[in-house]
Amino acid sequence: MKKQLFLLLTACAALFTACNDDKTKDTTNMKPTITEKPFGVLGNEPVTQYTLTNANGMQVSIINYGGTVTSIITPDKDKKMGDVVLGFDSLAGYLQKENPYFGCLVGRYGNRIAKGKFTLDGKTYQLPLNNNGNTLHGGLKGLDKVIWQASKPAGDSSLQLTYTSPDGDQGFPGNLKVEVVYTLTADNALQIAYSATTDKATPINLTNHCYFNLSAGKEGTILNHEVTINAAKYTAVDTLLIPTGLLPDVKNTPMDFTSAKAIGKEIAAVPGGYDHNWVLNKNGTTLEKVATAYDPTSGRLMEVLTTEPGLQFYTGNFLDGTLHGKDNRVYAKHAAFCMETQHFPDGPNQPAFPNTILKPGEKYTSVTQYKFSVK
């Protein structure tokens, strides 16, 4: 009898453990979710914040103003969750003119166009000059400053944003229909898939401008983050960051990130800090890993995969401690870095650079992933 009772109890204990194990381990059955909440009003238009959560509990929040990523919450090596992007707590923060493109979508042409001028099919176009006599990030009111239409395609892991930029918008030709799909994958990647069509030939170069600090606020700067960029060359620029057309080798220069190097190691030798386009070692438009960033303090690793030929690595050189961000945090110089996947700056005026002109009947596509893990 005693033996039978013992066996019964053992069986019950085993069953209990199995069930319990199921509960703690089985994240695979947890469904990804998207929730939404109001994030202020612009004019008469409500702005909404969408939060994507995957089965691992990773969360990405995006507002439909500028298609802006407002937070990316990932675990550190001790499984403690933290927000790895800079931003603001409220819409007012994002609307202020000092907002340095925190987390937003950038277009129609990310990066600079020299003197805001280009010639297409014999016609010269003039864009607004918003950066030392040049055009930066699509002009005075680029895709970062408009409200996108949001919808949730099936599956609850993606947010689709669409926007039509009318013919002549910021001086660019053609009605440009843009679609961006943000997906939070099961393996902790934020994927951004861009596509666009036009009814007149026009330059296009879409990107995202997240400012990353993988320590999630523990480190005031990213100078100790270790970075790799799979690129043998970069586009040399003049003092106003306009490409000269030369593609110098990174070898034996502070621009060499072909093996892991702390951002701060040689930054002093780069006037102003890093703010350059690297010519990625890749052919064609397959999605490939092109860069990594690792924060030794938190153990967070971010891998960047893209279909694009270039990467603007920018080390927050213009942050100066005057902006008050989330949780009233002060963002000092080099508080974060950006890895903006892109075509090269001033593409429309540099015939030797990869083509940036989209024609009617063609479809522009571009995919980038920021993938998070720990080591």
Q: Is 334 a catalytic residue?
A: no
Q: How far is the CB of 230 from ligand GLA (least distance, A)?
A: 20
Could you tell me the two tokens for 253? 């220069």
Is 209 part of the annotated catalytic residue set?
A: yes
**Contact status, residue 299 vs residue 76, Cβ threshold 8 Å:** yes
Q: What is the spatial distance between Cα 270 and Cα 288, in angstroms, rounded to a whole number?
A: 28
Tell me the closest approach of the beta carbon of residue 274 to ligand GLA, in angstroms. Answer: 10
Q: How far is the CB of 318 from ligand GLA (least distance, A)?
A: 5
Q: Which is nearer to ligand GLA, 198 or 326 (CB)?
A: 326
Between 256 and 275, CB nearer to ligand GLA: 275
Residues 1 and 43: their CA atoms lie apart, in Å, by 78
Residue 338, token pair as written in the block:
């950006």
Query: What residues line the site for ligand GLA (CB under 6 A)?
Result: 100-101, 111, 136, 241, 275, 312, 314, 318, 338, 340
Q: CB 13 → ligand GLA: shortest distance, Å?
A: 59
Q: Which of 137, 179, 209, 225 is catalytic?
A: 209
CB of 275 to ligand GLA, least distance (A): 5
Which of these, 229, 372, 190, 230, lies nearest to 295 by C-alpha position? 372
| Residue 163 or 274 having the CB closest to ligand GLA | 274
Rounded alpha-carbon distances, angstroms, from residue 26 to 22, 47, 58: 5, 35, 16
Q: Decide whether 59 or 235 has the Cβ nearer to ligand GLA.
A: 235
Query: Which residues lie closer than 8 Å to 331 by C-beta, 6 or more apart?
Result: 86, 316, 319, 321, 323, 324, 325
Among 179, 226, 308, 340, which one carries the catalytic annotation? 340
Query: Among 108, 300, 323, 97, which residue's Cα sits nearest to residue 194?
Result: 108
Measured from the CB atom, is 100 or 354 closer to ligand GLA?
A: 100
Q: CA-based Rg of the chain, rounded to a whole angstrom?
A: 23
What is the nearest approach in angstroms of ligand GLA to the Cβ of residue 181?
Answer: 23
Residue 168 has which token pair? 């002549």
Please report, for residues 182, 302, 321, the alpha-carbon distance to residue 111 in angstroms, rounded to integers and kept in the order given.
21, 23, 23
CA atoms within 13 A on the CB side of 157: 19
Burial 87-120 (b: 16+ CB within 10 A, else e): bbeebebbeeeebbbbbbbbbbbbbbbbebbbeb
> Which one, 75 or 316, has the nearer CB to ligand GLA?
316
Residues designated as active site: 209, 340
